[in-house]
Amino acid sequence: MLAAILVERSYLSASILPGSGHAGRDAVRWRRGFTTAPWAWNAGVIRVDDAASDLLRFDLNLPATGADPSVSADLLAVDDKDKPALADLSTYSTVSFVARCAPANSMVFIVSIYDEHMSKPGNFLTYPPALTYFSCNEAGVPVSLDLTRLTVPEWWFETLHRDLSHQDFKLDRVARLVFGVTSQSPRGVPSHVEIGKLTLRGRDYRYLAWLAGIVAAGWIAFGIWFFRAHARATIAGLDAQLKKDLPLVAYRQLTLEPYRDKEKASVLRFIATNYTNPELDLEAVVAATGTNRTKVNDVLKSELGMTFTSYLNKLRLTEAARLLTEQSGTAVAEIAYSVGYANVSYFNKLFKEEYGCTPKAFRTLATQQEQGAGPVQEPAAP
């Protein structure tokens, strides 16, 4: 919901016809006006209809001969006291409108921009005229103009003796919007022009930046929660595994005590006291206890439900887990050797299969467990 609101608000739209509300950051109003060449002031070449609240409507009657006239209908930025103002339109990138002309016409759209180093207030000739052209006909033509692609004509730079290379401009100080005639406009006949649905559109990317920040913060928070939850679950799993292995440690200690079945006692005692020997295998147990392979496996199956290999690895890995927890300064390789593994890589592989993590990660998690809830204690041998 919040994402939809922020995305929607990033799309800017403002009507700028008189009577249609405000536009621009400074909420200026727009007043109708017109511009003519000095010789045409009393010639009736343009008449702007002030009664149309939602249209810029004007009539033209350009002379059939003579110099190209400078005639336009204007929208002037004014403040709440109806005095000239400057509108900040820098957040808008396009202007759209419907242009209806009878007869068909080719016209110019101009944005008069105040330049603090050059412009003289009220003298629009000194305002850089960023412009482009559009056409219209009796049926009405939807027009969309890219405000970022307007250009200032060369004649303006020459007239005001400005450097032609200074073509950049900003729409943060707009004094007026102009809809003017061109050399291709109808002459010698009355013509009528209507500009409707005049709307500025743009994007305010700050809303998208806020949305991106919120999404990023959400993912970061989720990542922190996920990894903490994963760590807690892993620690709980290791704790359960260690608790499950503790009876095995106790049983290993019990096997050192006298046993009624001498042969069984001999097998269990030998394994319990020699499991750290890297050379220990089933043949060594058989040779040392004077029994046979079948008897050894039967003893381990009946007592622990394991084969010789699985029991030997269980003893070694359980002892390795204890040493990793209690001897934080001892290297992993040294612990592997001490419990009977001559190959550290093989030890790491078996340990990960047993505990779901590497010995190094196990030590880290065990340390966190001790800090949070204290270490797991082995039960004392009876």
3-class DSSP state for residue 212? Answer: helix
Burial of 316 from C-beta contacts in 10 A (0-12 / 13-18 / 19+): buried
231 burial (CB, 10 Å; 0-12 / 13-18 / 19+) is: middle
Sheet holding 174-181, edge to edge: 29-35, 72-78, 174-181, 105-113, 129-136
- Residue 66 makes CB contacts below 8 A (sequence gap 6+) with none
**86, 71 contact by CB (below 8 A):** no
**What is the number of alpha carbons within 13 Å of residue 210 lying toward its C-beta?**
13
Residue position matching structure tokens 């330049």:
115
pLDDT number for residue 6: 53
What lies within 8 Å, CB to CB, of 157 at 6+ separation is 163, 164, 166
Superfamily classification of domain 11-203: Galactose-binding lectin (2.60.120.430)
Structure tokens at 108: 């110019």
Per-residue pLDDT of the chain (382 residues; tens, 9 = 90+): 666 665 556 667 788 877 554 444 457 889 999 988 765 555 578 999 888 778 899 999 988 887 777 899 999 999 988 899 999 998 899 999 999 999 999 999 999 999 988 899 989 999 999 999 999 999 999 999 999 999 999 999 998 888 888 878 889 999 999 999 998 999 989 999 999 999 998 876 665 676 577 777 777 877 777 766 666 666 666 555 544 444 454 344 444 444 456 777 788 888 888 888 999 998 988 888 888 888 888 888 887 788 889 889 988 998 898 888 888 889 999 999 999 999 999 999 999 988 888 999 888 887 776 665 444 443 333 3
Measured CA to CA, the distance from residue 107 to residue 113 in angstroms comes to: 19
Query: What gap in Å lies between CA 9 and CA 5, rounded to an integer?
Result: 6
- Domain 230-373 is found in CATH 1.10.10.60: yes
Written as six digits, the tokens of 298 are: 């039967």
The residues, ordered by sequence, that sit 6+ positions from 298 with a Cβ below 8 Å of its Cβ are none
pLDDT at 376: 40
Backbone angles phi, psi at 172, to 5 degrees: -90, -5
Per-domain residue ranges for the chain?
Answer: 11-203, 230-373
Q: In whole angstroms, what is the distance from residue 169 CA to residue 118 CA?
A: 13
Closest CA to 89 of 166, 199, 195: 199
| Angstrom distance (rounded) from CA 181 to CA 51 | 22
DSSP E strand stretches across the chain: 11-15, 29-35, 46-49, 55-60, 72-78, 92-102, 105-113, 129-136, 141-146, 174-181, 191-203
Please report where in the chains the tokens 């406009």 appear, as a residue: 185
In whole angstroms, what is the distance from residue 352 CA to residue 86 CA? 71
Q: Distance between CA 27 and CA 129 in Å, rounded?
A: 22
